[in-house]
Amino acid sequence: MQRLSKAATRIYAWFERRLQLEGPVKDAALHPVPRNTASWAYVFGSAAFTLLFLQIFTGILLALIYVPSAAEAWNSLNILNHQIPLGWFIRALHGWGSNFMVAIVLIHMAQVFLFGAYKFPRELTWIVGVFLLLMTLGMAFTGQVLRSDQDAYWGLGIGASILSRVPFIGGGLVHLLLGGPIIAGATLSRFFTLHVFVIPGMLLVFAFVHVWMVLKLGVNEWPMPGRLVNRATYIQEYQHLAHTDGIPFVPGAFWKDLVFSGAVIAAVAVCAFAFGPFGPTGQPDPTIIQTVPKPDFFFLWIYTVLSYLPPEMETPFILIVPLVAIAALLVLPFYASEGEKSWHRRPVAVLAVATIAVGWGVLTQLGTNTPWSPHMSAWSSDPLPTHVLHNATPLVREGAVVFQAKQCRNCHSIGGAGGERGPTLDSVATRLTIDQMRFKVVSGGGNMPAYGKNLSPSEIEALVNFLETLHPAGEPPAYDASRRAVETSQSNPPSARPAGSSPANRKSNP
């Protein structure tokens, strides 16, 4: 036993003489950090780093099977899912790992922002971190493309459509993005190159630079309200804090990083096992147009924004806002490199994070439900509730047929079924008079197409008579007061009977 350990020591010494890593590693591991940074709030950066390596590892495993060719990629994914033993699990690990990585990177960013960690002397650490975030999102998008299915295909179409709006060089940029005139073999090859070589290479270099600076500049101390950062004195104050009230980074702070990283990897594995891999959905055949493309979870908010923006604001918004946002993140450490770090005295920072988080949540929730999209099969698959047609006249029944057959249901729900693009019509008769409905159907307006050319007069008549019956039991349909006055005066001379006092003898079909 003793001989064995002696041999081990000698082997270690042999390597150490040549590598000479002991010094730097000891320096990095044992450097003192302020005691209160050994906190569970400080574990997200290391978890993101760990997830990066999980992604590299599972990515290499997938590359053993995956074929980066537009003709074969989809097939190879299905073989991974169904034929290779546990291929589905490796795909699920990679997919869930990517979701976790985006989430953890964002949490890490919010944490260092709220803790003022971007201030002097850690400005460059923050800037490198911004690029790491962009690369992480780039990996998420290119990875979604490699899952070469219908969503990937039409997602690329959306990307190309956005890029085409760049003034002057938009067309050329689309060619560069797609590797040619259309989404095809060349496109998948270049996204494979980006996802497997270019971005991961940069990601690793930037991540090591990021960690290097954390080691050299020290972990950001726990911010105390009133302890302001001053360029002239900060380094000295930090060193004083780290040495008088500090602990060695390993194991003092590092054990929490280790535990959290392990827990995150375990969570990825549990999600992968329980929920399985993402897709692939239908094959990437552009002649199959019965598809409802949707981006992955973390890009759903963009999808929502693009549906709610007024058309004239869309191009400026999608071209300028991302650049402004990135520029703001890059300029932040120079704008506020000194001063207060504590979130207790930075209400704007807290509000900004809260606003972005709530906004993101709401937009993502809307993107999941897509109330702006027509339900393409509602007209033929969602039957009208029977009570709507109870005791209906033949004209009203005919109107109900028109309502279904002309795809009105794709955008208007009745009885909770149908599209949500337009208003629900359960009580439309209480909101619009029959003349207003006729006008709306014929000439459209807002987000409603004009049906004047597509419906015959008798169809329109039947349709509005059907709509006229859609009102709650106790609520009479809306009527046009002046119209009724005219009708009343025609049947009875105004001197005999005041118009307002007559019972509603309004014709449903004037």
Q: What angle do CA 75, 76, 81 make, to 5 degrees?
A: 95
Residue 103: CB minimum distance to other proteins, A? 25
Whole-angstrom distance, CA of residue 224 vs CA of residue 243:
18
**Shortest reach from residue 185's CB to other proteins, in Å:** 4
Task: Please say which residue, 160 or 329, places its beta carbon nearer to other proteins.
Answer: 160
- CB nearer to other proteins: pick between 283 and 364: 283
Smallest distance from the beta carbon of 146 to other proteins, in angstroms? 14
Q: How far is the CB of 243 from other proteins (least distance, A)?
A: 32
Q: How far is the CB of 156 from other proteins (least distance, A)?
A: 9
Q: Which long-range contacts (CB under 8 A, 24 or more apart) does 167-172 make?
A: none
List phi, psi (to 5°) of 248: -60, 140
3-state secondary structure of 393: coil
Nearer Cβ to other proteins, position 176 or 224?
A: 176
Closest contact distance (angstroms) between CB of 205 and other proteins is 20
CB of 154 to other proteins, least distance (A): 6
In terms of Cα–Cα distance, which of 130, 117, 48, 113 is closest to 323? 130
Whole-number minimum distance, CB 426 to other proteins, in Å?
Answer: 20
3-state secondary structure of 433: coil
Q: Which is nearer to other proteins, 293 or 415 (CB)?
A: 293
How far apart CA 51 and CA 43 sit, in angstroms, is 12
Closest CB to other proteins among residues 223, 280 = 280
- Residues 6 or more apart whose Cβ sits within 8 Å of residue 488: 494, 497, 499, 502, 505
Structure tokens at 61: 């495993």
C-alpha to C-alpha distances, 329 to 114, 134, 322, nearest whole angstrom? 13, 11, 11
Closer Cβ to other proteins, 36 or 75, answer by number: 75
First to last CA, the chain: 106
Find out whether 467 and 425 touch, Cβ atoms under 8 Å.
Answer: yes
Q: Which of 434, 445, 440, 438 is nearest to 459 (CA)?
A: 438
User: Shortest gap between Cβ of 73 and other proteins (angstroms)?
Assistant: 8
Closest by CA position to 364, among listed 294, 298, 292? 298
Nearer to other proteins among residue 114 and residue 408 (C-beta): 408
Contact predicate 319/165, CB 8 Å: yes
244 or 447: CB nearest other proteins: 447
CA-CA distance, 382 to 352, in Å (whole number)?
A: 43
Q: Which is nearer to other proteins, 32 or 293 (CB)?
A: 293
User: In angstroms, how far is CA 132 from the centroid of its own chain?
Assistant: 18
Of the CA atoms within 13 Å of residue 49, those in its CB half-sphere come to 18
Q: How far is CA 5 from the centre of its chain?
A: 54
Q: Helix %, strand %, coil % for the chain, to 5? A: 65, 0, 30
Question: Measured from the CB of residue 86, what is the shortest distance to other proteins in angstroms?
Answer: 27
Residue 66's alpha-carbon distances to 53, 83, 91, 220, 280, in angstroms, are 19, 13, 10, 42, 13
* Cβ distance to other proteins smaller for residue 32 or 170: 170
Structural tokens at position 368: 């999941």
Q: How far is the CB of 407 from other proteins (least distance, A)?
A: 4
Dmax over CA atoms of the chain, in Å, equals 124
- 98/148 with CB nearer other proteins: 148
Rounded Cα–Cα distance for residues 18 and 30 (Å): 22
CB of 480 to other proteins, least distance (A): 26
Q: Which is nearer to other proteins, 233 or 454 (CB)?
A: 454
Identify any residues that bridge with 34 across adjacent strands, giving them in sequence order.
246
The conformation of residue 249, written as its DSSP 8-state character, comes to I
Cis peptide before 280 (omega within 30 of 0): yes
299 forms beta bridges with: none
Minimum CB separation of residue 497 from other proteins in Å reads 45
* Amino acid sitting at position 198: V
Residue whose CB is less far from other proteins, 84 or 309: 309
